[in-house]
Structure 1
Amino acid sequence: MGLTLTFTIILITCLVSLTTMFYNPDKIDELSLRPTMIRDRKQYYRFITCGLVHADLLHLGFNMFSLYFCGRFIEDIFETIFHSKFYFLIFYVLGIILSGIPTYLRHKNDDYYSSIGASGAVSAVIYATVLFAPWATIRVLVIPMPLIVYAVLYMAMTVYLDKRQYGDGINHSAHLWGAIFGLVFPIIFKPSIALYFLDQLMHPSF
């Protein structure tokens, strides 16, 4: 089996995250999404690099495990539909960028705000997977559950954490915008996917 785009993204993200987390924590600030730095210094690269760094092992592990289980599926689906796996790479990168734009607009006058993590892109991948296989079974802490149930719980947790505003540097609101992007992106290119999703939703299979 060749090196997939999903595994390549996971490998690069883990290398950057672990290196900065344990050996160069000051670098995290340089890569994070800091709206005022984007506004004042035009450091637009931050819209992408923020997705390469994470707050801790739990944050990194949650995102990368979710990407591992759903990313390979969506990568293959995109290759079948669009005849190129690079649509998946474009999709993932746009997931990071577009899920960060609302955060930028919301905090562009906040000198102390910064956020990190690939949550927006991972959320996009999860919800794109829901479009094609809502009743697929996944295991969360050894507990089997339909993917659509996991997606709902995932979003509920995100909304809760975002409202609590722990100040942990994790951009919880990016989950919401990433999810919306994940649902919209495939349908824009192939509207019949929406009908396929509704049909799958109405015919549960476990």
Structure 2
Amino acid sequence: MAAISLKGVSKIYGKGIAQVTALKDINFTADKGEVVLIVGPSGAGKSTFLTIAGALQKPTTGTVMIDNKDVSHLSDKEANNLRLEKIGFVLQAYNLVPYLTVKEQFLLVDKVKKQNNMSHEALTDLIKQLGIDMLVNKYPNEISGGQKQRVAIARALYANPAIILADEPTAALDSKKVEEVGQLFKDLAQKQNKALIIVTHDMRLHKYANKTYQMLDGQLHEEK
């Protein structure tokens, strides 16, 4: 079953001679239980794709469907609720709160989203699996970039979203950690029936994906 689909989606910025078409007639589907990679050079439109898929901005034309509901033109409040309940983001910037310890990052999620988060036991297992269990009392400025990335992954997964959108989630990780995170993503998709969409340059993730799309000049094509 499709968790998310984009139908005829285009995104245009600016007007006249300043007009830029970031996405051109995108058709895309990610089913529950799938890991999908979006690969392509910088400036190809990958980040715009991710923000539209995650209801962070609206398409100029076309529709975005999540669980068979058109979410293309939600109000800001409705889009916020959608992201809170259904979508987890793993961003390159990590977006960790600098004055909160690793453990407190998860307590913050509990304050914002009060229901349907992972159990304490599941979170403990996830933290151990990602190798960050020794960091729970550290602040973001006390840990490395790769460790921050793994904390950001854990925080996104803790909210138990049906759809996970990740922007270069393994960029700061060595090959061993990439294998661990790739297998984690694959297991989450298959065992918990989640859809994972990963924008990446990291072809080390290719073997964990069910489908790979190439994005170039705002156009998307599935690799066969």
Task: State the TM-score, normalizing by the size of structure 2.
Answer: 0.25
Q: Which has the higher contact order (CA 8 A, sep 6+)?
A: 2
Bigger helix share: 1
Bigger strand share: 2
